[in-house]
Amino acid sequence: MGSKKNYLNNPLIHSDRRLDQHSSEWVRSFDCRDMKPLIICRGPIRKEAMDVFDEMGIHGYGILLSEKDSITYTNALAPELRKLTDPSRVHRVPDYTGANKEERHQRIQQIVNIAHENGYNSIFAGYGFMSEDAEMVSAMEAAGLIFIGPGSFTQSAAGLKDEAKRTALAAGVSVTPGVNNGTTLALIAKAKNEAGLAKLAKDFKLDVKLDKFKTLEDKAEAVLAASYKARVDVITVDDLGATLHQQMLKIFAENPNNRFRLKAISGGGGKGQRILNAPSSFKGSKEEQIKQAAAVTPALVREVLAEVKCNGVGDNKNVLIEMNIETTRHQEIQVVGNGDWCITMGGRDCSLQMHEQKLLEVSVIHEDLVNAHAEAKTAGKKAEVAQLERDIHILEKMEDEAVRFGQAVKLNSVATFECIVDGERHYFMEMNTRIQVEHRVTELCYALTFSNPDNSADNFTVTSLVNVMVLLARHGKRLPKPTRSVRELSSVEARLNATNDALQPHAGGVITKWSDPIDGEIRDDQGISMHNPDTDVFMKYTLAGAYDSNIALLLTTGTDRMGTYQLMSEVIRRTVLRGKDLATNLDFHYGLVNWFVGNNINARPTTRFIVPYLTLVGALKEQANQIDLAYAWQAVRKTALANAGKDAEKALAAVIDRKITLFDRVFAPLLDNPHVLSGWLSLHKSHFKVNKGSVSWLENPVKLLADTYHYLNMEAQEKAPASYVIWDHDNEVLQDAVCFYATLDEKLGNPAWTDLQQLLAASDAPKGIAKKDWAAVQAAHAGYQAGCEILNLLPYIAEKAGFYALAVNADLSINIPERLNDKELQDKMAKVLVPPPAAKSDEILAASGGMFYPREAPNTPKYLEVGTHFNKGDVLYIVEVMKMFNKVYAPFSGTVTEVLVETDGAIIKKGQPLFKIKPDEVVVVESPEQIKSRRRKYTDEFISRNFA
Amino acid sequence: MSKAPAPAKSATKKSPAKKPSVSNTSIPSLKNPFAESCEVAFKIPGQQDYAPGLYEATLKMGHDLIQRPKLASGVSNTQRQHLKKRMTVWERIQVLADNDSEPNVLYQNWGPNLDGASLVTAIIKVKGRDVAVYGHDFTVRAGSMDATNGEKIARLFTLAGKLGIPLVGMNDSAGAYVPAGVGGLDGYAEAFTALRKISGRVPSLMCMFGFNAGGGSYLPRQGSFVIQPNETFFGLTGPGVVKSVLGEDVTPDELGGPSVHSQSGVTDFVVQDEASALYLVRELLDYLPSNNESLAPFRATSDPVDRKTWDIDILLKKAFNSPSGFNTPVDISILIQQICDHGDFFEIQPERARNTICAFGRIGGHVVGFVANNSAVASGQIDIAAAYKNARFIRFCNLYNIPVMFMEDTTGFLPGREQETGGIVQAGRAMLDAIIDLRTPRFLIIIRNAFGGAYASYNNYPTGADHVIALPTTRLAVMGPAGVEFVYKDELRKIRAEVKVRAAKDPQGAAAWGKQEEALLAQRYERELMNPNEALSLGSISSIVMPSDLRKEIAMNLELHLRSYKPSPLSEIQREFF
């Protein structure tokens, strides 16, 4: 079977994990075959868990199908069923979470019942919504089921924000600086002690019993609560201002480079917030800077309270101080514990994300950082060395804190310690008490070895975190503290999502072909690539993009980050993913990974990188859209012929015409797919110079052309359809040319391209080449180079788009040009990347005749009323044809301006106007002539800069 | 750059010469001076010294003859084909055939120039099976037809029929070769005839590449299935002639593109590009027998045949318990998916008339055809397009010994002026006749609605069904909900009279009362008559099957009927009409 080699048997993620066959009795005692887990989630983790369980010798597991796995779409049947063919182990729920609290409760009961009725003794929840629900976990525990994951104690200790923060502080974990009890502190400052509080309470006639509370803080809070009830002010706005001023002085002293935010507790939607600038933005000594920065606090407190109208008597006037998170990197530490011991397995950097959706996650482990540090030192990159030193230091601190926190919350499974890293500081955000989507990044880097405390030679090694979870769930406290060892120095995960080129959610489409994984590719795809077991054909799969955009996780490893990224690039390069109406972010990943390969593999992007990057890619597309390729080619041809001597003209014309397909072929994929172009421009940035639109090459364009065919996965391949790769007659010319220059390089000692051109222009043969061959060599050079000027278009586009202004600084931070942060430009470029569906009219016409219903049922609200905004794909109305109620969906987005048919059951005719609407995007019809002339004008400029 | 370069006389300004890198004096060439050229040597394995003599010279001539059809066109013609994003016939064969196989080319040099006369015929391997294939070589004389290649293609058809192997056509022809005169027309006529003679004997799959007109359209449509990639055209004649004859301004895509033909049923499948078309041929062949006396490929399945179809239960529960109750559309393809092995099925004409779904799938490893009303599209009513789509598919299954599963959920044939004008009576009749003629194992599975004429014409016992089962949700009645007017004629008359009386006192109250009473009658009608009871009592339905037992029930009965079924050529006499 085609899918077997790298998919079903990849040694990086598959192995015999059974312990019952082991020679050591101690090791055998950790057998887990008596586990019978019920898997209650979907997504890539479900298939992974099934595989790991089977490999551990646990064969009785069951799965829960949700409606999205079975009846919501055709051709979207859970692919896992191709492997799990025993119907008695497949169970069904409408969904995993329920739409509200009651349904949620009901669902938990349902799962418990399914487990009991079918003899399951444990639950595996993956990273589903339920996995971090303390209520769910306690319910499972109460029902006598083993929860494979952190227990309810850990869940609540780490889950409740206040509690977690207190625990973190107690454990010496670095949390974000700030104040969330300003009013309490102000009251304490005013009252000074308990007697003062009691007096205040008495003066204001508050109904509060102070002896019920222990700490002064709790007592103060009680007084405040009573004051809100009695609608009196025990503290004034000025009291609060003074207190927060004091707090700011303290905070700024510790964080002189950060901006802070004042936020009224009743604010929201951007209201009731003010920013305090960082001391470092002021002049003077350090003390003076802090003083100036904090000075505005009382005034700003008044402002925010006035803005949210909380300055009345008895209003809760609390104002929070929060650090303003700006250039942060998102890093997280993998933690494993059994309640007694706790260890970490290095970190992951998840900064490459958009709208909180992670896209590319890369391993951050000590050993790899040390290697990168040594390399940078050897290369004499001072700023880079300093940054890497900081990273090593921060990683150490984070791992250290993660262990302490994990121990404090008695972690008895796996969890993630999430931090943000801002410059030289890091802050703990929260602990995710479950396995994370990106856990493979970690398990590929470190293995865990559990050794017999009495005999260290008696041990076993585990390479899967899911396996570790099962071991911990089954044997818990009996497991000795493991040691970690490096498997791979680096790993990276790309999340393959059903999103369009602008990374917006897309309906999904149908996958009709997905090539088999290549060597070194890890593809967690829920089983989509598992062929039909009976016929060995790829089964088409409908993506539920609008609901769950993640299709698969792609991972690669390497001995350093460069190798890992290059392998990821190779994986994507060779991936053939085809389908109907299919949109994925695969091209985006190809461009992004190669942006890092081409710019600086150690660049430290922040969470704010992706949107500006996308905007830049949009700018590339905007330029590419302007090109008239055929017109440019004619200019190249004409210029070449005009420059050729009379004798050469005819031969040159033949040569150029022979190469038209050779060049034509690479342009469509580059100009149509700006993400692919972004990767190309990043990889080749050192191969050309552009000066005011005029391009000169620092590398032989023939070699670049051959590389480009390779980059596009279009080099000659025996088994690929001819129409997907270089045409054979083009390959002949290209291979001859490549061989020709390889021989020249060899004979002439690898001169630089500019030097080689000089040599070849000379009238006499240089040393190393026979005189008699010289004319033929020059003729071949002229022939092979003919037409290559058309490639000038690519650097030209890059310069026009300002592509190289997004660059990596010496200290590994990334310079983001200000314009790319402009929201207006971002929106505009998103529309260039994915033109929104445009409306052709201002009316919605009946798609068919029948009876019209503006709502789903008599007691439900109407779908559309005047002023309703609808998105493409929303239900507009229902038409009843012969007693069938058909939903009609919006073909584009817009707003209703007038409802023309109102009554339930009105008879409508095909083509009858039903609503007047204002479409979001009005079609601006550009005639073919206008497009042509616009493109010619743009291309003329290119021609004049390059061939004039 | 998609067009070949026009002679340089366009808008660019004349500019002074500036090109430092390449010397002006040399004559550019594409010959690598360092490469060693080598002649083909005709050595026997192990032969040491090689001194070519007369014998080798003869072998060389033979070698050149073998090569000639592939090299006849020259690079520039091939390039022109490639600029149109089209492959050459040789490249197409390579995509279609198994990776490790060589095409067995027939009559390779036939034609006055010994170049194969712009048509390639061969036997190739597809998933290990022999398949006859022809393809026009557009790079030679634009793939046009003359008497020679008409006879050549006819011989291939005859051979395919004789061997009982499927036929694949890769059509890419400008039409008849005009210099050949009437000979070209005779060529077509000969091909038409030979293809018709094997129709019903072996299945034929036709890919429409490039720009085919006239006979180049009829010939492929004589085949079983037509596959059309985007950016291609076929039809009676191109936009040029249409403009000159009718004055109509129309683009090739509007005239004969996939969006046109997929809606009329002239094209069965629309695909992205040429390679996808050839991949689809490979996929479809896996569901088809090689000829009319064998069964389609059996594939033992790891999906238990007694697997409970709980998901059908969940789907129906969700749909029928929703606010619109039993009037909620249900996507029938979800049910087909649940019944098939591993949920895998292959839809025919998926762009057209999806109010009926025609598909191939496997149950317990056996290929079956599905003909299913789909209430999710246009209420699942049978209109002209749906009726012809069904008729065509049923006839195909009949000829090639494929059992058919009918799934019924329709309120009936679509009435109305538009349909009558278009000839719904003839279309519905075609479907009915196709059903009556069907001789393979044929089941009817009633999902919900089966009213009146739609029931009567849809594979019931009297029309020859082997097995009729029904879900408990079945509503089999002489009429749909409108039947209340006939069944409760008297009651309704009474109510309406009473309304008039009451209206004198309280017009509004009377109307409301009348509406309520009529609603009660409608409910009574649904309760008493829209159910499977009468049909069960009359033996029109064999048994009620729970939704979760559907796969098991069908698989069991399919096994039963197939055990005694002998695949054989259809020997019925020819009937009137198709």
CB contact under 8 A, A761 and B23: yes
**Contact at CB, A721 and B481, closer than 8 angstroms:** no
CB contact under 8 A, B1 and A885: no
Angle, helices A366-378 vs A382-408, to 10°: value is 170
Q: Is B314 in Cβ contact with A534 (below 8 Å)?
A: no
Tell me the three-class secondary structure of A757-819, residue by residue. Answer: HHHHHCCCCCCCCCHHHHHHHHHHHHHHHCCHHHHHHHHHHHHHHCHHHCEECCCCCEECCHH
**C-alpha count within 13 angstroms, C-beta hemisphere, residue B361:** 30
Residues forming a β-bridge with A886: A879
Give yes or no for residue B133 having a pLDDT over 90: yes
Confirm whether B296 is a catalytic residue: no
Question: Looking at residue A162, what is its pLDDT?
Answer: 63
Closest partner residue to B29 (CB to CB) among A94, A656, A780 is A780
What's the maximum distance between 2 C-alpha atoms anywhere in chain B?
121
Contact A644 B24 (CB under 8 A): yes
* Band of pLDDT at residue B23, cut at 50, 70 and 90: very low
Q: Give the range among A333-337, A614-618, B471-475, B505-509 with minimum mean pLDDT.
A: B505-509
User: Mutate which of A66, A67, A73, A74 to test chain B, going by most B C-beta atoms within 10 A?
Assistant: A74
What is the per-residue pLDDT across B237-264, written as a single tens digit (0 to 9) for each?
Answer: 888 888 888 888 899 999 999 999 999 9
Per residue in B395-416, pLDDT (tens digit) is: 999 999 999 999 999 989 998 9
| Residue-level pLDDT at B9 | 38
Contact A212, A261 (CB under 8 A): no
β partners of residue A689: A696
Residue of B14, B79, B306 lying closest to A660 (CB–CB): B79
Q: How far apart are CA A187 and CA A235, in angstroms?
A: 6
Residue B453 bears catalytic tag: yes
Chain B nearest-CA distance from A645, in A, is 6
- Judge whether A905 is closer than 8 Å to chain B, CB to CB: no
Amino acid at B23: S
d(CA A437, CA A127): 7
Chain B residue whose CA is closest to A633: B1
CA atoms of B511 and B515, how far apart (whole Å):
6
Interface of A with B in 525-544 (CB under 8 A): 532-535, 537, 539
Query: A84 to chain B: nearest residue by CA?
Result: B303
Question: Between chains, do A776 and B82 touch, taking CB under 8 Å as contact?
Answer: no
Residue of A nearest to B98 (CA): A719
Closest in B1, B15, B275 to A633, CB measured: B1
- Helices A610-624, A660-672: axis angle to 10 degrees equals 140
Q: Are the beta carbons of B3 and A630 separated by less than 8 Å?
A: yes
Exactly one of B187, B200, B215, B238 is catalytic; name it.
Answer: B215
What Rg do the C-alpha atoms of chain B give, in angstroms? 31
Scan residues 928-947 of A and list those with Cβ closer than 8 Å to B. Answer: 936, 940, 943-944, 947
What is the model's pLDDT at position A683?
A: 97
Task: Give the closest of B3, B17, B91 to A643, CB-based.
Answer: B17
- From chain B, the residues in CB contact with A528 under 8 A are none
- Tell me the HSE value of A40 on the side-chain side, using a 13 A CA sphere: 32
How, if at all, do strands B366-373 and B404-410 pair?
parallel
The single residue listed with the structure tokens 């001072």 is A382
Over residues B338-342, the mean pLDDT reads: 97
Give the CA distances from residue A650 to residues A16, A639, A641, A729, B12, in Å, rounded to whole numbers and listed in that order. 68, 14, 8, 20, 20
A736·B78 Cβ contact <8 A = no
What letter does residue A174 receive in the DSSP assignment?
-
Position B12 confidence tier, pLDDT thresholds 50, 70, 90 = very low
Q: Does A655 touch chain B (CB under 8 A)?
A: yes
The reply to whether residue A736 touches residue B304, judged by beta carbons under 8 angstroms, is no
Q: Is B343 a catalytic residue?
A: no
d(CA B381, CA A884): 10
Structure tokens at B337: 């998916």
Q: Crossing angle, helix A286-295 and helix A237-254, to 10 degrees?
A: 150
Q: How many CB atoms lie within 10 A of CB B126?
A: 20
DSSP A715: S
Subunit contact B301:A534, Cβ cutoff 8 A: yes
Provide, as residue numbers in chain A, all residues whose Cβ is less than 8 Å from the Cβ of B8.
634, 637-638, 641
Closest-CA residue of chain B to A645: B24
DSSP A145: P
User: Using alpha carbons only, how large is chain A's radius of gyration in Å?
Assistant: 33
Which runs of E-coded beta strand occur in A487-559?
Answer: 490-497, 510-514, 522-524, 541-542, 550-558
Residue B92 C-alpha, separation from nearest chain A C-alpha, in angstroms: 8
For the cut 50, the answer to whether the pLDDT of residue B24 exceeds it is no
3-state class (DSSP) for residue A336: strand
Single-letter code of the amino acid located at B86: R
Please state, in angstroms and rounded to a whole number, the distance separating the CA atoms of residues A159 and A433: 8
The answer to whether the CB of A839 falls within 8 A of the CB of A895 is no
The predicted structure's pLDDT at residue A12: 94
Lowest mean pLDDT across A390-394, A941-945, B1-5, B509-513: B1-5
Give the relative orientation of helices A823-833 and A610-624 as an angle to the nearest 10 degrees. Answer: 50
**Quick one: pLDDT at residue A873?**
82
User: Distance between CA atoms of A154 and A431, rounded to whole angstroms?
Assistant: 10
The residue in chain A having the minimum alpha-carbon distance to the alpha carbon of residue B78 is A729
Least CB–CB distance from A82: residue in B6, B22, B342: B342
Under 8 Å between Cβ of A323 and A460: no
Q: Which helix (H) or strand (E) holds A830?
A: helix A823-833
Which whole-number Å values give the CA distances from A280 to A274, A291, A383, A583, A639, in the listed order?
18, 11, 21, 46, 58
φ/ψ (deg, to 5) at A726 = -60, 135
Provide the pLDDT confidence category of residue B313 given band limits of 50, 70 and 90.
very high
Between positions 752 and 811 of A, the ones with CB within 8 A of B are 757, 760-761, 763, 773, 775-786
Q: Which residues contact A219 (CB under 8 A, 6 or more apart)?
A: A194, A197, A210, A213
**Distance from C-alpha of B92 to C-alpha of B96, rounded to nearest angstrom:** 6
Tokens, residue A120: 């399951």
Amino acid at A53: F
Place of tokens 């779908």: A863
Taking CB atoms and an 8 Å limit, are B30 and A727 in contact across chains? Answer: no
Catalytic residue among B164, B365, B423, B453: B453
Q: Are A664 and B83 a contacting pair at CB < 8 A?
A: yes
Report the SS3 class of residue B89.
helix
Task: Give the chain B residue nearest A638 (alpha carbons).
Answer: B8
A948 and B15 in contact by Cβ < 8 A?
Answer: yes
CA distance B571 to A824: 73
Paired with A446 in beta bridges are A486
Place of tokens 């080319």: B105
Of A731, A719, A920, A732, nearest to A827 by C-alpha is A920
Smallest CA–CA distance from B71 into chain A, residue:
A729
Cα→Cα distances A410→A129, A144, A174, A710, Å: 22, 20, 19, 52
d(CA A41, CA A63): 8
Cα gap A40→B486, rounded to integer Å:
53
Which residues are within 8 A (CB) of B305 and not within 5 positions of it... i.e. 6 or more apart?
B363, B364, B551, B552, B555, B556, B559
Query: Phi and psi at residue A59, in whole multiples of 5°?
Result: -105, -5
| Distance in angstroms (rounded) separating the CA atoms of residues A906 and A908 | 6
B22 and A785 within 8 Å at the Cβ level: the answer is: yes
Which candidate in B77, B78, B79 is best for mutational testing of the A interface (most A CBs within 10 A)? B79
Q: Can you tell me the distance from the alpha carbon of B145 to that of A682, in angstroms, rounded to the nearest whole number? A: 51
pLDDT of residue A748: 93
Mean pLDDT by 10 residues, chain A (948 residues): 71 95 95 96 94 96 90 90 94 80 85 96 87 84 94 84 76 83 89 88 86 85 86 89 93 88 74 86 90 92 83 81 82 96 97 89 97 95 94 96 95 94 86 93 97 94 97 96 97 95 85 94 96 94 76 97 98 95 95 97 94 97 96 94 87 95 95 97 96 94 97 94 96 96 94 94 90 93 95 96 95 94 93 81 81 83 90 86 77 88 80 87 82 94 89
Residue A88 in contact with partner chain B when CB distance is under 8 A: no
**Is B378 annotated in the active site?**
no
Q: Tokens 């706005």 map to which residue?
A: A237
**What residues have CB less than 8 Å from B574, skipping those under 6 apart?**
none
Q: How far off is chain B from A554, nearest CA to CA, in Å? A: 25
Assess whether pLDDT exceeds 70 at residue B25: no
